[in-house]
Structure 1
């Protein structure tokens, strides 16, 4: 069995790491970030003020590392928070909640005796690459079967699709697209039409196609 390749992440948009660790590691279908404290990468110094300000800096640091590894905070799947004082739980959550949309990642928060540099909060996380999160969906109009010109195909999906040699359409997925509203979705008939079209494409081309239907 071949050993998984580990790719280190390094970005100037987050504090430079000490020699005994990486800012993050990409391995397989995951991006793992080392714990971050509230250090401003521009100054190399700990952010002064409230724990909310340090939490904001930490999440900005983690965002930079994730993006350098091809992921983002919105694609985070697990977060671990370490507090020097559990009484700061609510203050940290106040900032934390503003950085994550639903569904929020799984999370653990624990109190510890001390943290690096004498700080009061440290956060680490792991996420999936954006390509993995989005590359299996292709927006297709349920009325015309065409990709709406108002929607730009994600570059990661385009590269993935173009890298696959095939003699005909090789779609990763079809999702209903309500042209009039300009949003994903559609009624039941639209979703059913999309599924039927997807099945026809798969049958005619001999290529297996995944179909992701919106629940509206």
Structure 2
């Protein structure tokens, strides 16, 4: 799932002990997007975990999360699914409502993780 993007950006960059990930949208293996915020959140976080894994990291290493939701009414359902993927101490997070360029996408998530010593 951590294939190279077709657009001019890196999926992950490591610098000074930090891993910076580009925004992730819930594209399935067949490039479809599942319906519903819970399914999309779960898939996005799975894809992020897979990308982090290429650098020897996982979701426990995430220190910062930025979330772009299409619908503010999805905030509660998003939080319920999100909470299933992160342990305390939770990463710091910013959540905004935004229009996304991928039709059918309900959210985009990007993270910063700290490399282990």
Task: Say yes or no: TM over 0.5.
Answer: yes
- Greater relative contact order (Cα 8 A, min sep 6): structure 1 or 2? 2
Query: 1-side partners of 2:32 and 2:95: how far apart?
Result: 21
- For residues 86-105 of structure 1, the C-alpha deviation after alignment (integer angstroms, 9 at most, x for no partner) is 11101111110000010000
Tell me, which stretches of 5 or more residues in structure 2 are unaligned? none
In structure 2, the partner of 1:137 is: none
Query: 1-side partners of 2:7 and 2:40: how far apart?
Result: 23
Give 1 or 2: higher helix fraction: 1
In structure 2, the partner of 1:87 is: 73
Query: 2-side partners of 1:49 and 1:15: how far apart?
Result: 23
In structure 2, the partner of 1:52 is: 38
Tell me, which stretches of 5 or more residues in structure 1 are unaligned? 1-12, 133-216
Q: How many residues align?
A: 116
Match of 1:100 among 61, 64, 86: 86
Query: 2-side partners of 1:20 and 1:102: how far apart?
Result: 35
Which protein is bigger by CA-based radius of gyration? 1
Q: Secondary structure at the match of 2:73?
A: helix
In structure 2, the partner of 1:24 is: 12
In structure 2, the partner of 1:69 is: 55
TM-score of the aligned structures, taking structure 1 as reference length: 0.51
Q: Secondary structure at the match of 2:10?
A: coil
User: Are positions 1:116 and 2:104 aligned together?
Assistant: no
Please, what is the CA RMSD of the aligned residues? 1.3
Query: 2-side partners of 1:16 and 1:86: how far apart?
Result: 31
How far apart are 1:15 and its partner, in Å? 5.1
Q: Secondary structure at the match of 2:7?
A: coil
Equivalent residues of 1:15, 1:39 under 8 A apart? no
TM-score of the aligned structures, taking structure 2 as reference length: 0.92
